[in-house]
Structure 1
Amino acid sequence: MTRTTPARPVSVEAVFPELAPYRARTTRLHPRPGRPGIRDSHIGGPMLWPADEPWPLCREPHRRETEGYAPEEIRGARAAGAWPPSRPWPTEETAADGGPAPFMGLAQLFRRDIPGLACGPDGADLVQLFRCPFTHGPYMERRYHLRRRQAARTERAEHFLAAPPRTPLLRWEDELPEPCVLHPEEVDTYPWAEDDTLPPSLIARIDAWDDAQAAEHGSDAPNYQYDLSIPPGWRVGGYPSWASTGPMAVTCAPCGMPMELLLTADGCETDGGSHSWAPREDRDPLLKGKASIRGGVSVTRPTRLRFGRDRDLHVFVCPKVPGHAPRWVLA
């Protein structure tokens, strides 16, 4: 089933013609719980991984854990609409005491499904995203891993890994991604309006327009940041959102080039401020606004993942040398 973003409450370029040169395309992934296979683009499904290739391990020191949640019990609790029981951490589990920990697969994206996905080194057209299931350091930081491959070459492997290594327990329930199929859709997007992301005079006009809309229409008023610029949820390309941190310069450490946004991972597909982006297929046509959204958590938080304190995880890559290390920004 396709997913279709409703028309914006107002035409942003009709209100702000100066935004036309900034118009870009982003691909909303629209994850929904399902049963993806290893050759599918997905979130939380099985990775296309040659059996003779070592699974990625996080070898950095991480926090010792004392309790956690079993993946099987997490899935059972989700199906029952309940919360899983926590368990004491096994004493023999070396990963919980700083040893190497297997990364957990979060997403797999093929360019054949998502044409807007930027090519990687040597024309790599398959992106695989991983996260360490443990936290690191006193600020409970996370570690991510990005693998970019040539899909056709990878698919020619003789055998594929049946099941990746995993830890017996996860520290939080939202570490375990719900397997989701994707419904890619390209939409227009415009920059976040703050600091130097746009000319100061234009940002001032946008702020004044937001204030006027709120004064006239109250809480249901359209808002540039929430309704007209950047859609919520998982997406490829386009502009980063900066709701939590404010805009920041992201440069490549080896060469100093400004980096480009490869993809954004988001724990929520819609919230109180961004509900206008909810697809038509997930709405009750007899209702309006947030009340019209159907499907519950499978629509609002389909992947069950969380990034930071409900932030966006932006994955940036170097446009000059695709092989340079990516950067991970929570915003």
Structure 2
Amino acid sequence: MGGPLLWPADEAWPYCDVPDEKSDPGTPATAMVAVAQVYRKNAPGDWWPEDKDVFQLLWCPDVHWDPPAPHADVSPIAEIRRRSSAEVRRVLTSPPSPVRQEDPDYGYSPDPCTLAPVPLVDSPYPQALPDGELLKSVQEYVGATGDGGDVITQVAGIKFGKWPTWHLTEPYDIPCLTCGAPCHLMFTVASDQPPGSR
């Protein structure tokens, strides 16, 4: 997370030219920052294109209150790359730095760290569970722990796939802008503390 990427030296680095709430007219576009790089071997699943083994996420570190679609309001403007590591011959060693620097504790600059991949059981929001014993046992567990259900059923933190948390809204389908089919969660970046930490 937040570290160097396996980025081809001959591939243009992505920039964000959407003004943020603090930028003056004519402010130049800012370089996006590396957020995550995941290899297929560390997170296998059906979200991988057949010929790709590296997932890369970059985003603009600046806050945009009204970003263009398909980005959600007050969220980072993101770029995703999927690539084959075998095709990267020369790696970019010095990616550009953002032009607009955010204030301390403001914006979306990730702290570099290394993650240890762990397979976990993840379930949909309780209301989406089938009726029966499973729903009943989840509701009893939620009632006993008093967490409201979102943390119990959807694993918080950084994860590939499975289910989104709905702590700000009720669950709803997010349609594809091209075909209209419901989208499935691909990758979650969260600032939650890991379980058991202070």
Note the C-alpha offset of 1:133. Answer: 1.7
101-110 or 198-207: bigger deviation: 198-207
Tell me which amino acid in the other structure corresponds to 1:54.
A
Q: Which amino acid aligns with 2:61?
A: P
More helix by percentage: 1
Determine the C-alpha separation between the residues in 2 that align with 1:126 and 1:254: 25
Structure 2 unaligned segments of length 5 or more: list them. 67-72
Separation in 1, partners of 2:125, 2:112:
30
Q: In 2 relative to 1, CA 140–251 (structure 1 residues): closer, same or farther, beyond 3 Å? A: closer
In structure 2, relative to structure 1, the CA distance for the partners of 1:141 and 1:190 (3 Å cut) is closer
What does residue 5 of structure 1 align with? none
What root-mean-square deviation, in Å, do the aligned CA atoms of Structure 1 and Structure 2 show? Answer: 3.0
Partner of 1:104: 33
Task: Judging by fraction of residues, say which structure has more strand.
Answer: 1
Structure 1: unaligned runs, 5 residues or longer: 1-42, 66-93, 215-219, 271-277, 279-292, 297-331
Q: Which residue of 228, 235, 248 maps to 2:172?
A: 248
Question: Aligned residue for 2:112?
Answer: 179
Question: Aligned pair 1:234/2:158, yes or no?
Answer: yes
In the TM superposition, 1:127-276 aligns within 5 A as 127-137=55-65, 140-154=74-88, 157=89, 159-167=90-98, 169-173=101-105, 175-194=108-127, 197-199=128-130, 205=136, 209=140, 213-214=143-144, 224-227=149-152, 229-270=153-194
Instruction: Find the residue that maps to 1:250 and give its secondary structure.
Output: coil
State the TM-score, normalized to the length of structure 2: 0.79
Partner of 2:19: 61
Change (3 A) 1:204 1:260: closer
**1:257 to 1:173, Cα distance in 2 relative to 1, 3 A:** same
SS of 1:226's partner is helix
**What whole-Å deviation, never above 9, does each CA across 1:274-313 have from its counterpart, x for those lacking one?**
xxxx2xxxxxxxxxxxxxx45x4xxxxxxxxxxxxxxxxx
Q: What is the Cα deviation at residue 187 of structure 1?
A: 1.5
Q: Normalization by structure 1: what TM-score?
A: 0.50
Partner deviation per Cα, 1:162-197 (whole Å, 9 max, x = no partner): 121113622443533221112111121211123xx2
Amino acid at match of 1:131: W
SS in 2 for 1:189: coil
Contact kept, 8 Å, 1:239 with 1:261, in 2: the verdict is: yes
Distance in 1 of aligned mates of 2:130 and 2:41? 36
**In the TM superposition, what is the alpha-carbon distance from 1:222 to its structure 2 partner?**
7.6
Rounded Cα–Cα distance in structure 1 between residues aligned with 2:138 and 2:92 = 52
Structure 2 CA distance for partners of 1:221 and 1:135, relative to 1, 3 Å: closer
The superposition leaves residues 209-263 of structure 1 with CA deviations (integer Å, 9 ceiling, x where unpaired) of 357x44xxxxx56875433x22211011111111111111112111122222111
Conserved 8 A contact 1:58-1:101: yes
Identify if the C-alpha distance between structure 1 residues 223 and 254 changes in structure 2 by more than 3 Å, giving closer, same or farther. Answer: closer
In 2, Cα distance between the equivalents of 1:189 and 1:204? Answer: 14
**Structure 1 residues 32-63: Cα deviation after superposition (integer angstroms, max 9, x where no partner):** xxxxxxxxxxx011011111111001122333
Note the C-alpha offset of 1:129: 0.6
How far the C-alpha of 1:108 sits from its partner, in A, is 0.6
